[in-house]
Structure 1
Amino acid sequence: LPNGVDRALGIDRVKTKEELFECSDTVNLHVPLTRETRGIVGNDLLGRMKKGSILVNTSRGGVVDLDALEDALKLAGAGLDVIPVEPAPRKPDQKEVENVHSLIQAYRRGEEWLKGRLVITPHVAFYSQESWDDIRRLSCETMRDVLLDGLKTSVIRIEDE
């Protein structure tokens, strides 16, 4: 945000992600999955969240450490539009169950402690008119930039692990 806009909107600026997690009622993640962002939301950041706060991940499943999320019982809830291994099998056999995180299994079984606290949607956040409009607009802008200036905008390099 340009300087001053934050004040006009009643938004407090913070300098670090740690400060952001400490003061936010809701944190919504929108980051690519890179070496730097894999597991970035773990015990430290979740432990900084206020009691009753909510975490929403609409970026990539690997950004949130599910073990840490499972342990973060003080959160009022979490919404996951993405999970680390997708697609999660609908009716997993025994071998597949071993590869499905215990939090996802508990959600599938409808365990009482998760009711009203965890929502998992399989990339549903993408299916909106706004998302389609953004894709069309950004695609046109990228094509224009490449054709006119040879620019490679919106390029994210994912390094091998």
Structure 2
Amino acid sequence: MTTKLAILDDYQNLALSYADWDKARARDVAITVFNQPLGTIDQAAAALAPFDAIVLMRERQPMPGTLIARLPNLKFMVLTGARAPSLDLAACTARGIPVSNTSTGPNQSATSELAWALLMDAARHVTRADRLVRAGGWHDGLDMGLILAGKRLGVIGLGKLGAKMAHYARAFDMEVVAWSANLTAERARDGGARLVSKDELLSTSDIVSIHLVLSDRTRGLIGRAELARMKKGAVLVNSSRGPIVDEAALVDALRSRHLGAAGLDVYDIEPLPARHALTTLDNVVLSPHLGYVAEATFRAFYQDSVENLLAWLDGQPVRVINPEAIGTR
């Protein structure tokens, strides 16, 4: 019997070229690739109802329990990366649907390097200047750039990614301070930073960069009051998750020029809707959630996806993040 597999959200049409999917086809797997977002829950349910297995690209397609319940044929899922809060794992387990994850390749470097690129661009207005030159201008109306040497970087969340940002900042002769709810002075020193309070970090840093996992505790962590505490003219970089920052308050802070600039890779709604308020501002650099979008990372994602699929077909699934689902269907 043919197994129907859906590969979701392959926006750049790379999934089939980054792994040997012929191994799956040889096992009578029919592969359908979706290159665009599926839309509403109703639209996603209609599109995915025929499929036995699904490969998710990170959190691009939300998979709440309400959607999973409407996929009668679904028996197996692959999640690229380690985890995704947009996937209702409990709903999968209740249905007896094992979920296998993948390695991330050099994802930590990919994300932190992208965050640093956003930081540099926001500080020196590179993208804005590029648009100006292409339009026939030169220095017309450009703000002055921010020299990083001697400035303070405030890192919110000094895990692996935040520590890489601290390392980059020290190479640029910046002072680095850090805060998170459970960060200790010793761990801050080990990560190349000095522990300060959240208020001190926000009020004294020239650039603030966010590196936290989205959770109930971090959702809305940087709201209107926190943005108001930041130095006038400061730069905010967010390459973690959009809802950590109050997006409407951020738009207001950028529009009023209380914040000098921002570099954003993540948003409340992704893809970012056309004509969103952020797209109207000239002091924000926007990238389409590119933190993990690198060839080495995608090769790891899809090669592991093929291995996961074949192991499931053999009745011995690997890298299963909800092992209690195995054998309950």
1:13 equivalent in structure 2: 195
1:17-28 paired onto structure 2 within 5 Å: 17-28=198-209
Q: Which has the higher helix share?
A: 1
CA shift in 2, pair 1:88/1:70, >3 Å: closer
Query: What secondary structure, in the 3-state scheme, does the structure 2 residue paired with 1:126 have?
Result: coil
Q: Deviations over 1:53-98 (max 9, x none)?
A: 10011111110101211221310111110001112345xxxxxxxx
Query: What secondary structure, in the 3-state scheme, does the structure 1 residue paired with 2:200 have?
Result: helix
Query: What secondary structure, in the 3-state scheme, does the structure 2 residue paired with 1:76 have?
Result: strand
Of residues 112, 116, 121 in structure 1, which corresponds to 2:287? 121
C-alpha separation between the residues in 1 aligned to 2:239 and 2:205?
Answer: 17
C-alpha separation between the residues in 2 aligned to 1:118 and 1:69?
Answer: 10
Query: What secondary structure, in the 3-state scheme, does the structure 2 residue paired with 1:124 have?
Result: coil
2:251 equivalent in structure 1: 70
TM-score after normalising by structure 2: 0.30
1:49-128 paired onto structure 2 within 5 Å: 49-72=230-253, 73-90=257-274, 105-108=276-279, 111=280, 114-115=281-282, 117-128=283-294
Amino acid at match of 1:105: H
Moved over 6 A (4+): none
1:93 equivalent in structure 2: none
Q: Which has the larger radius of gyration?
A: 2
Q: Which has the higher strand share?
A: 2
- RMSD of aligned Cα (Å): 3.2
Q: Percent identity?
A: 41
Query: What secondary structure, in the 3-state scheme, does the structure 2 residue paired with 1:78 have?
Result: strand
CA shift in 2, pair 1:34/1:2, >3 Å: closer
2:168 equivalent in structure 1: none
C-alpha separation between the residues in 2 aligned to 1:89 and 1:24?
Answer: 31
C-alpha separation between the residues in 1 aligned to 2:185 and 2:219?
Answer: 29
Number of residues paired by the alignment?
Answer: 115
Question: Are the equivalent residues in 1 in contact too, given 2:235–2:261 (CA < 8 A)?
Answer: yes
Question: Are the equivalent residues in 1 in contact too, given 2:262–2:284 (CA < 8 A)?
Answer: yes
TM-score after normalising by structure 1: 0.58
Gaps of 5+ in 2: 1-183, 302-320, 322-329
CA shift in 2, pair 1:65/1:2, >3 Å: closer
CA shift in 2, pair 1:45/1:23, >3 Å: same
